């Protein structure tokens, strides 16, 4: 008996030590704000839910929140007047925990996320993508597809329940009932909220994949992804701080390059901060960033005059704001190169960027600008109806830039050769020559087709092969190669 | 010396304890049937094969079979008269271990598997898929492709060897020489037969992947798959019992939802038991299940009158059987929702099912039913030959439902937004508008084409955009969006 | 104090033991050549780079090189006159470490790699692939795409820097400034150079993936890949020797079958050594291999007369060499089957090869040979221009064999049913019937089209279904099947 008692005492002592360690593990913000959590009501929640949803509660319990005593009610409590507040067995709660709620403890992270492209993900309601989703597909396709990544605009039904056309949803730019934009659990998955899980590439891969932005596939085939597969156990993914070169050295994840800290720069929850090119639109541009005092951000293409810090100006959404910071594309690139340099020497980095820039320029100049210009001319000449996507050429052009052209650019941006070429430039070229040009001819008719193609396409030396073919010598060289290399056949 | 002797004794004692523990780890069935294994002949097998196929024997040895003393001969022994029995160095054995053989120890599992869709996987010999495989492709494509998942009909050659057109094969619905259907090693891979391996999503991914049923891809991009990647080490995959909420809480695998136990329901080897919609055919329906006394099962669409338990009736295969159980689609769904509820609160579950149902209905009503009806009319009007797949439109229709339509439905069913939309409804819509409709026009000619399209397609409001375009206001809104959001370009 | 001193002494003793163990862990070559490393200059490199590129240095440090004292200067030192030598803070170094450099310690491995297909990967400069890359795509697409796998021809600029159009590059057949071919770091990723990392399938997957040679995808869906996922922790991937059946038994990686040792054969860095079919060209053949005294190798199709060992002869590149070894396709296959037999009994192996051979023959005879013959006739009859890829039919034919036909063959070669069928023969058949034949008709016109199709296509019974359709009985059987199996719908 006595031995057990002693052990019990030792146990208590141990719990104390662990408590101190856990406390130290908490973010600084959190340490300063212990009064914001530990609501007594939480134990009542756990009483039922540990029966009804045992795994949910258990994951919370072993996660950092559970270990630190941040409980159900701390996050889900609502205030009277909250649009989605409802009475749940005598407690006023809300199902959705919005960034505003998370900011009670994680203000810095929410501030960084505010105004970022991620936070604006739900603002595609009037875009061409949305037309495709809502009209060409149909609303349920938007609910299970588009919105699950972009975020829905949550509609609260009488009684505090949500319209199931908009919920469940953890899209990154969710428009919450409290007016905030975003969903922290898009990456920090419920209910363990493990920071290590969010740092894994899979977290990003939920949305950054597929025909139109295959970042996860590019990463997986890159050396970065190969090293991650081999050495993920050496990455200390669960550490509180996670500084490349200090906490780990074996491989980068998406987070390493786009979010996490280096010895010389802090982490950021604005995932676009270190990105110098936009690879999203039909034609890529380098982007400078303007940050306003209210944390609203906007990107402006290289070349657009930049405001002064302190200046008040009308932002793109029409609201007048004071500029608090300007980050040029060069500064953004320097931030990324600082990450690169933890593992790569300078020549490797500048060489990489030269290859990447060249690929984007090739895509822009040889394919994207001519195709975009021709589309504009066809609309102007009424050779295409104003309605989007009701003509084959419109789908061809759309996939040329939105799918294939992005894949090429993303492949080059993250060293995935199969995406740069086969899923990228090969597909771009094939679509351009085999589909776009013939469909332009069909839509424009003569003499407009010839005029347009001569002006925008065949004026470029890079397209002349299509008209001029190859010389006999060039052809002979190809045949000789196959004979020597493989003993015959192509 | 003496010390070693002592250690030897301790060792013996330890072996005894481990033996007891291992015994306890065996399934109850197995405990009751120790007489069915431990054949003396086994040691002779091991004598040669541990030289010739060292890794095979070693994997068996460290697996639960090897540890428990279930040996080669226990599983591979044959009886005189077995069609594939042959003399192997004086022992009568068979290469194939069929479900009938496994049932000697694992009766419950084999009983559950009997009559399931999995067990019937080999019965596609007269299907359109098989026509594609055998005739359009060719028999070797069936042997290396279709049959490796569906299962071959094993043909025994004189002398007990198998026709290599049908073997090697571990397809899930293999038609074995002893008349049984199935292959346990389809999932429980030889020769470790690790239960943990079979519970991993990869086990299912051998067949549930690709253009026509990408379940593994959908899973991988879903939150479920993301959690699995992050926390697989916390799943206790190798435990004998594996009850979600008790043995693990961090993530579900395919097995969690479709096979394994919850605190309130047992495990089942009928993988279809908890599935309420069939997402397989051109048009989805909800399915009720009838189970017969001989464990034969069949699904009937919602709405078909259901028999009483105890009633004798002619099953679809013409055989008269007694009904032993009826499971409605609602009961099947409740079984699945019981799994969901281990991790999710109720509103999340009903909201998810609403979104999923809506997507299936959208697919059914907007695309599948019109396309199917039009195809029927074209055959009736002799605008298509009766031969399958000899006309382009037939391939277009086939891929519309068999590939793209399934991807949409599977994406929605397991929360994979990229599959619900880009690989799913986007592809369905694109094929429908860009290929199906023009090919219908070409095949039907006027006036039939217009009649059919007006009747089945343009009668629906969801298709009117194609004829009516967008208003100027709608177009303006799209342009305004791009200007505000991105500063210009689409 | 005294206690710490004692510990220090113990520590020294421990370091000694670890040193001996590490020494023993080094390859035999390396042990014999300690004088080739440990350059004093190395510590200066580390002085700066452990600040500038901390993760790079740390990875090197914990890798086997770092542990054994092989330092930066040992690998990067250059000789005067080396084309890429440059002065770096007083040290003459080169950025690229070529196979010639690695051979200082790893002669055997470099000798094996020499003359292999891998080493020749950069020799595609005059191929059709390269025409596609350079001309149809554009040089930056080659730099970020093709060359990142195949290897670039490094161009050294004045001052020892590299032309960024050719560097950074770790393509497997890189043509180095010193004239050597290859890049060891293509697989043995910098700067840990972990042998375990190189043995993982992901290492190969950087290049062996995608539409034209999806080996990694095939592996991942195969039983081999499924076992790897489940049991990678049991593979002892980091051992110095890695003999299947001795060092591991749970699963094969790419390396197991194509590179690593078995109890009865050594490892080889000629990844083609155990391959009996070439699945690369339009029409597959079995290949015998001729090895010359200078380690140059060439493959010749089965049927080509083979030289005697010791004979001098003109190789395909025109150089006269002495034959040192001839390896027939049967011997190559026996080498692979020796690997198979570690895990599989004989009947499984011969059955597998029969199914694989049959699939290749089906592809060859039914699709590849007819299509290739027809293309030849069309060029001869001037129905196609001599310029490559300026006509749709040329793209169709190219993808038929280079993409789809390879996928079918690769799928069958490594037991990936989804690739053998859906991404393989299904796509081959679809392209052949739906695109190739109609485009041949359009290009050839009548009567040539009919002549060609009758001669090469419809003369084969396997193609007659397209003309003759199905009997009413056959159609009825299909309909009956769906009624019985699913209660109706296809």
Confidence class for position B34, pLDDT limits 50, 70, 90: low
Alpha-carbon distances, residue B116 vs B29, B145, B297 (angstroms): 21, 22, 6
| Closest chain A CA to residue B263 | A54
Beta-carbon pairs below 8 A across chains B and C = 210
User: How does residue A27 score in pLDDT terms, banded at 50, 70 and 90?
Assistant: low
Least confident span in A241-255, B399-413, B470-484, C232-246: B470-484
ipTM entry: 0.92
pLDDT digit string (tens) for A314-367? Answer: 998 889 999 999 999 999 999 999 999 999 999 999 999 999 999 999 999 999
Tell me which H or E stretch contains A216. Answer: helix A215-221
Tell me the pLDDT of chain A averaged across its residues.
92
User: d(Cα A231, Cα A225) in Å, to the nearest integer?
Assistant: 10
Chains touching chain B at 3 or more Cβ pairs under 8 angstroms?
Answer: A, C
List the single best residue of B60, B142, B145, B149 to mutate versus C (max C Cβ within 10 A).
B145
- State yes or no: pLDDT of A489 exceeds 70: no
Residue B178 in tokens: 């002893």
Q: Which chain C residues are within 8 Å of B317, Cβ to Cβ?
A: 484
Q: Give the tens place of pLDDT for each residue, C171-202.
A: 999 999 999 999 999 999 999 999 999 999 99
Indicate the SS3 state at residue A313: strand
B chain contacts of residue A209, beta-carbon cutoff 8 Å: 221, 418
CB C223, CB B206: distance < 8 Å: yes
CB atoms C126 and A477 under 8 Å: yes
When CB atoms are compared, the residue of B59, B200, B210 closest to C249 is B59
What residues are paired with B103 via a beta bridge? Answer: none
The pair phi, psi for residue A262, each rounded to 5°, is -115, 175
Q: For A27-31, B423-427, C223-227, which range has the lowest pLDDT when averaged over its residues?
A: A27-31
Placement of tokens 């007006």 in the chain: B454
Which of C52, C88, C144 to mutate to probe the A interface, most A CBs <10 Å?
C144
Summarize pLDDT for B173-205 with one digit per residue, the tens. Answer: 999 999 999 999 999 999 999 999 999 999 999
Q: How many CB atoms lie within 10 A of CB A58?
A: 21
C-alpha R_g of chain A: 27
Q: How far does Cα A213 stand from its chain's mean position? A: 9
Cis peptide before B168 (omega within 30 of 0): yes
Task: Determine the pLDDT at residue B32.
Answer: 46
User: What average pLDDT score do residues A295-308 get?
Assistant: 95
Say if B307 is an interface residue toward chain C (CB within 8 Å).
Answer: no
Any CB–CB contact under 8 A between A249 and chain B?
no
On whether the CB atoms of residues A383 and A445 are closer than 8 A, the answer is: yes
Q: Interface partners of A (3+ CB pairs, < 8 Å)?
A: B, C
Model pLDDT, residue C17: 54
Q: Is B384 within 8 Å of B378 (Cβ atoms)?
A: yes
Q: Are B316 and C350 an interchain contact pair (Cβ–Cβ within 8 Å)?
A: no
**CA-based nearest distance A365→chain B, Å:** 16
Which of C141, C150, C160, C317 should one mutate to test binding to chain A, selecting the residue with the greatest count of A CBs within 10 A? Answer: C141
* Chain A residues touching B421 at Cβ < 8 A: 133, 137, 141-142, 144-146
Other CB atoms within 10 Å distance of the CB of residue B108: 15
Q: For residue A309, give both structure tokens.
A: 């810090």
Report how far residue B424's alpha carbon sits from residue B431's, in angstroms, rounded to the nearest whole number.
11
**What tens digit of pLDDT does each residue of A48-76 get?**
999 999 999 999 999 999 999 999 999 99
d(CA A330, CA A307): 16
Q: What angle do CA C148, C153, C156 make, to 5 degrees?
A: 115
Among A29-33, B224-228, B445-449, C349-353, the range scoring the smallest mean pLDDT is: A29-33
Is C386 close to A472, i.e. CB distance below 8 A? yes
Distance in angstroms (rounded) separating the CA atoms of residues A465 and A50? 69
Quick one: pLDDT at residue A219? Answer: 98
**With an 8 Å Cβ cutoff, is B476 touching chain A?**
no
CB contact under 8 A, B351 and A164: yes
In whole angstroms, give the CA distance from residue A388 to residue A395. Answer: 9
Q: Which residues of C touch A231 (CB under 8 A)?
A: 192, 194, 197
pLDDT of res. A469: 78
User: How buried is residue A40: exposed, middle or buried, by Cβ count under 10 Å (0-12/13-18/19+)?
Assistant: exposed
DSSP output for C350-399: HHHHHHHHHHHHHIIIIIIHHHHHHHHHHHHTTSS-SSTTSSHHHHHHHI
Sign of CA dihedral A75, A76, A82, A87: negative
pTM equals: 0.93
- Could you tell me which of A75, A120, A124, A64 has the C-alpha nearest to residue A100? A75
pLDDT at A8: 45
* A128–B470 C-beta distance less than 8 A: no
Which segments of chain C have a pLDDT < 70? 1-34, 126, 487-490
Tell me how close the Cα of A268 comes to any Cα of chain B, in angstroms: 22
Name the closest residue on chain A to residue B420, using Cα atoms. Answer: A145
Tell me, what's the pLDDT at C3? 47
Compute the nearest-CA separation of A7 from chain B (Å): 28
B123/C175: higher pLDDT: C175
**pLDDT for residue C477:** 79
DSSP H/E element including A301:
strand A297-301
Question: Does A299 lie at the interface with B, CB-CB under 8 angstroms?
Answer: yes
Residue B107 near residue B118, CB atoms below 8 Å = no
Q: For residues B282 and B372, is the Cβ–Cβ distance under 8 A? A: yes
- Which C residues in the span 146-185 are in contact with A, Cβ-Cβ below 8 Å? 146-149, 161-162, 164-165, 167-168, 170
With a cut of 70, say whether residue B14 has pLDDT above it: no
Residues from chain B that touch C345, judged by Cβ atoms under 8 A, are 49, 52-53, 56, 95
CA distance B71 to B76: 9
Q: Give whole-number Cα distances, B2 to B9, B14, C41, C90, C200, in Å.
A: 11, 18, 57, 67, 47
Q: What does the mean pLDDT of chain B come to?
A: 92
For residue A11, pLDDT over 90 is answered with no
Shortest CA gap A114–chain C (Å):
32
Which of C143, C149, C196 has its CB closest to that of A355? C143
SS3 for B389?
Answer: coil
- Collect all residues of chain B within an 8 Å Cβ-Cβ radius of residue C477: 126
A472 interfacial to chain C (CB closer than 8 Å): yes
pLDDT at A475 over 80: no
- Dist. CA C490–CA C482, nearest whole Å: 6
């Amino acid at each position: 008996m006595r031995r057990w008692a002693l052990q019990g005492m030792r146990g208590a002592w141990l719990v104390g030590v662990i408590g101190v360690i856990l406390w130290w593990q908490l973010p600084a913000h959190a340490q300063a704000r212990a009064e914001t959590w530990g609501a007594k009501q939480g134990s009542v929640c756990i009483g039922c839910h540990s029966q009804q949803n045992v795994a949910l509660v258990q994951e919370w319990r072993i996660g950092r929140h559970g270990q630190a005593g941040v409980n159900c009610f701390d996050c889900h409590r609502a205030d009277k007047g909250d649009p989605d507040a409802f009475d749940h067995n005598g407690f006023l709660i809300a199902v959705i925990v919005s960034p505003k709620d998370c900011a009670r403890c994680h203000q810095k992270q929410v501030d960084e996320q505010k105004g970022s492209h991620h936070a604006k993900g739900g603002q595609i309601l009037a875009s061409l993508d949305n037309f495709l989703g809502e009209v060409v597909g149909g609303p349920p396709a938007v609910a299970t597809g588009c919105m699950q990544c972009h975020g829905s605009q949550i509609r609260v039904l009488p009684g505090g329940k949500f319209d199931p056309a908009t919920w469940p949803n953890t899209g990154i730019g969710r428009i919450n009932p409290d007016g905030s934009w975003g969903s922290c659990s898009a990456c920090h998955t419920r209910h363990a909220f493990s920071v290590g899980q969010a740092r894994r590439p899979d977290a990003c891969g939920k949305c950054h994949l597929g025909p139109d932005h295959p970042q996860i596939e590019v990463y997986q085939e890159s050396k970065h992804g190969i090293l991650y597969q081999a050495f993920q156990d050496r990455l200390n993914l669960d550490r509180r701080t996670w500084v490349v070169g200090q906490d780990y050295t074996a491989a980068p994840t998406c987070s390493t390059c786009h979010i996490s800290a280096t010895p010389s720069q802090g982490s950021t929850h604005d995932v676009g901060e270190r990105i110098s090119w936009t690879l999203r639109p039909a034609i890529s541009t380098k982007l400078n960033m303007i940050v306003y005092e209210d944390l609203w951000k906007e990107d402006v293409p290289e070349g657009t005059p930049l405001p002064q810090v302190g200046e008040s100006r009308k932002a793109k959404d029409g609201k007048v704001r004071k500029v608090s910071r300007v980050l040029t594309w060069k500064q953004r690139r320097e931030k990324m190169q600082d990450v690169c340099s933890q593992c790569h020497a300078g020549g490797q980095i500048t060489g990489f960027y030269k290859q990447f820039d060249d690929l984007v320029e090739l895509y822009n100049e040889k394919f994207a600008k001519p195709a975009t210009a021709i589309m504009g001319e066809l609309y102007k000449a009424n050779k295409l109806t104003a309605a989007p996507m009701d003509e084959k050429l419109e789908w061809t052009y759309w996939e040329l830039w939105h799918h294939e052209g992005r894949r090429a650019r993303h492949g080059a941006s993250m060293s995935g050769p199969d995406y740069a070429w086969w899923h990228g430039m090969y597909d771009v070229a094939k679509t351009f020559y085999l589909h776009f040009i013939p469909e332009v001819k069909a839509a424009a008719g003569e003499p407009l087709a010839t005029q347009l193609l001569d002006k925008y396409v065949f004026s470029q030396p890079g397209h002349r092969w299509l008209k001029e073919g190859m010389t006999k010598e060039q052809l002979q060289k190809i045949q000789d190669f196959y004979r020597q290399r493989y003993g015959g056949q192509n």
